[in-house]
Amino acid sequence: MDSSAIFAVTAIASAIGGLALWAVQRSSKSKEPTFPSLPKWPLLGNILDYADASFTKRINSYPTPVWFSLPGFMGPILLVHDPDQARYVSSKAVSSRIVFGEPKLTTLFGGYESIFGATGKEHKRLRVLSMKAVSKNAMKQQFPLLQDLARETLENMARNPKAETQGISCLPHFQKLAFNAICIFMAGGDEAQLNQLVGLYDDFIDISHGFKAMFLPPFLEYFNGGLKAKAFEAQARILTKVSEITNERRCAMEDGNIYSDALSSLIEARDENGSSLSDRDIGFMFLVLCGAGFETTSMQLTTIFYFITNMVSNTDLEALQQEVDSFGELSESNLSQSPILNAFVKESLRIFNVAPFVIRIATEDFTLDGVNVPANSLFAAFHERGSLIEGGEAFELKRYLGDPSFDKDEFMPFGTGERRCLGFQLAMLEIKIVIAELLRGFVATKGVGKAKHVHVGTRLIESPVCIRPK
Ligand SMILES: *[C@@H]1O[C@H](CO)[C@@H](O)[C@H](O)[C@H]1NC(C)=O
Ligand SMILES: *[C@@H]1O[C@H](CO)[C@@H](O)[C@H](O)[C@H]1NC(C)=O
């Protein structure tokens, strides 16, 4: 990531970090919250506070729900960290929009037009139309390609001369993997079309940088080389390309060719009135999948490699290795019926989640435990509970292997309800394939150098990893 992007991430994060430092506790009986006026841009204190690893622990010492003011954000925010409240506000009971769905900020991903920013009926319609495309079955069809991608990525990592003794950074490899996995999922049914999507990587990176720049004061655009303008040019190129591919595919389908990827499902999908998605809808669907599945998956995988090489006990690692060895030929059904691998991924997500809370905008008034939350309020459902459990900092598979003292449903790494992460099946599958392929063909150990903890924006723990073929 270049320095302007890092600055941008920091700015978003420090806005979020304002949660702690600018805590304005409001009476939980107050019927009509009045919103305090907010400083316009975040200050250094926010960044330092949020960057502190104990931040998530402290959140849980605040009352819930509680109003906070957030510098750099659009309004005050209702913080919720009780699991039942978090589930309630994330569920169908509250109509909401993801805060990054604020159209002003997400025009790059389609604003109100896309599933990110659409609300109510339109959101439901887009969700219904995309359901089949993101189903488990759709994922299964692309399994061999995803498996090749995982293997090639690991081979590439091992080819780096530093991978032998010093160790390498995993993040850039997993960024490429996450993007390519979305392309495979989208157009894996046709090799030429898949390659065209894969070729859009640099354009997508421009969009990713431009998105972060949306959170910065406009004058910085002059100093950062016009990140936003570049991003909109890249967006136009991607939409044009996806539209071309969609048209080509539609013709091929009309000629009787049969495909089994997300693109064909999106083209075929009809709502109750027989209407389908437009080319533009499909273009934005691709961008939304990339936007939601790029940093999250790559950072989570990088963190998991840190756990594997630094934190997981030999006993747990041996149990996992044994299960993976028992698979023989790898298949989607192996990975979905694998209690230990499943526990391993869930425990990784519990200990350190790239996104410990979901920030949303209420699209209608609601009341939560006596607190009135007017439409257009921001609220944050904080769902990382790991630090509250006794010994919660330790990586222990047994939590997800029948430990009765542990409530497995408290933690919602992909959210819940009508805004639940659309790509969670893909994310889980990608992560499982990479871990399985790692344990089958490679040895990963701790490299030389200190671990880097990033607690701002999407979070990450990374340390150099040595990796070599078995
Ligand atoms: C289908 O048409 C009916 C009647 O015009 C309308 O009320 C309904 O919202 C439409 N459904 C969708 C998903 O657009
Ligand atoms: C894994 O999947 C393959 C291919 O479907 C199958 O042959 C094998 O028996 C499965 N292994 C286990 C342990 O489920």
In this predicted structure, what is the pLDDT of residue 100? 54
Contacts of 166 (CB under 8 A, 6+ apart): 447, 448, 449, 464, 466
Ligand 1 pocket, residues with Cβ under 6 angstroms: 121, 125, 271-273
The confidence score (pLDDT) of residue 120 equals 79
Q: What type of residue sits at position 42?
A: P
Are 106 and 100 a contacting pair, CB within 8 Å?
A: yes
Predicted confidence (pLDDT) at residue 45 exceeds the cutoff of 80: no
Residues of the chain with pLDDT > 70: what percent? Answer: 81
With a CB cutoff of 8 Å and minimum separation 6, the contacts of 466 are: 163, 164, 165, 166, 167, 168, 309, 444, 445, 446, 447
The DSSP bridge partners found for residue 98 are 360
Pick the residue whose CA is nearest to atom 14 on ligand 2: 334
Q: Ligand 1 centroid vs 285 CA: distance in angstroms?
A: 21
Distance CA 118, CA 267 (A): 20
Atom of ligand 1 nearest to the CA of 124: 13
Residue recorded with tokens 């990586």: 395
Determine the Cα–Cα distance for residues 154 and 158; give it in Å rounded to an integer.
Answer: 6
Residue nearest to atom 11 of ligand 2 (CA): 327
Q: Answer yes or no: are the C-beta atoms of 197 and 174 closer than 8 Å.
A: no
Best mutation site among 115, 272, 275 for ligand 1, i.e. most ligand atoms within 8 A of its Cβ?
Answer: 272
Per-residue b or e along 5-21, where b marks 16 or more CB atoms closer than 10 Å to that residue's CB = bebbbbbbbbbbbbbbb
> What residue numbers does the annotated binding site for heme cover?
421
Which residues 6+ apart lie within 8 Å of 275 measured at CB? none
Determine the pLDDT at residue 69.
59
Say if strands 96-98 and 452-454 run parallel, antiparallel, or are unpaired: unpaired
For 389-441, the pLDDT digits (tens) are: 777 888 989 888 887 777 766 677 787 777 788 888 899 999 999 999 999 99
Cβ–ligand 2 distance for 334 under 6 Å, the answer yes
Nearest alpha carbon, ligand 1 atom 7:
273
Among residues 276, 287, 299, 288, which one has the least CA distance to residue 175? 299
Of 297 and 87, which is predicted with more confidence? Answer: 297
Tell me which residue has its CA closest to atom 2 in ligand 1: 273
338-375 pLDDT, tens digit each: 999 999 999 998 888 887 777 777 878 888 888 888 87
Ligand 1 mutation pick, 123, 126, 270, 273, max ligand atoms within 8 A of CB: 273
- Average pLDDT estimate for 32-50: 42
Which ligand 1 atom is the nearest neighbour of the CA of 273?
1
More confident residue, 116 or 196: 196
Residue 391 CB less than 6 A away from ligand 2: no
Mean pLDDT over the full length of the chain: 82
Instruction: Look at 237 and 216; give whichever has higher pLDDT.
Output: 237
Longest dimension (CA), the chain: 65
Do 449 and 170 form a contact (C-beta atoms < 8 A)?
no
Residue 86 near residue 383 (C-beta atoms within 8 A): yes
Which residue's CA is the nearest one to ligand 2's atom 3? 329
Please, which residues bridge with residue 79 across strands?
66, 380
List pLDDT tens digits, range 96-150: 666 554 556 778 888 888 887 787 788 889 999 998 888 888 888 899 999 999 9
Tokens of 24: 């304005």
Instruction: Tell whether the model's pLDDT for residue 35 goes beyond 70.
Output: no
Structure tokens at 440: 């089958």
Is 201 near ligand 2, meaning CB less than 6 Å away? Answer: no
* CA distance linking residue 327 with residue 143, whole number of Å: 15
Return d(Cα 317, Cα 323) in angstroms, integer: 10
Residue 44 above 50 pLDDT? no
What are the CB-based long-range contacts (under 8 Å, 24+) for 111-116?
A: 113/280, 113/281, 113/284, 114/281, 114/284, 114/285, 114/287, 114/288, 115/284, 115/285, 115/288, 115/422, 116/288, 116/291, 116/292
Q: Is the dihedral of CA 428, 434, 437, 443 positive or negative?
A: negative
Measured in Å, residue 376 CA sits from the centre of ligand 1 at 26
The domains found in the chain, sorted by start residue, are 3-469 (1.10.630.10)
Cβ neighbours, 10 Å, residue 351: 21
pLDDT at 247: 97
Q: Which of 320, 326, 331 to mutate to test the pocket of ligand 2 (most atoms within 8 A of CB)?
A: 331
Residue 367 confidence (pLDDT): 87
Q: What percent of the chain has pLDDT over 90?
A: 47
- Tokens describing residue 169: 């950074």
Q: Report the alpha-carbon distance of residue 243 to residue 277 in Å, rounded.
A: 12
The span from the CA of 116 to the CA of 291, in Å, is 10
Q: How far apart are CA 183 and CA 407, in angstroms?
A: 36
Contacts of 428 (CB under 8 A, 6+ apart): 345
Mutate to test the pocket of ligand 2, among 140, 324, 334 (most ligand atoms within 8 A of CB): 334
pTM here is 0.86
CA-nearest residue, atom 3 of ligand 1: 273
Identify which ligand lies nearest to the alpha carbon of 324.
2
pLDDT of the residue at 86:
84
254-289 pLDDT per residue, tens: 999 999 999 999 999 999 999 999 999 999 999 999
Which residue's CA is the closest to the ligand 1 atom numbered 4? 273
CB-ligand 2 contact for 326 (6 Å cutoff)? yes
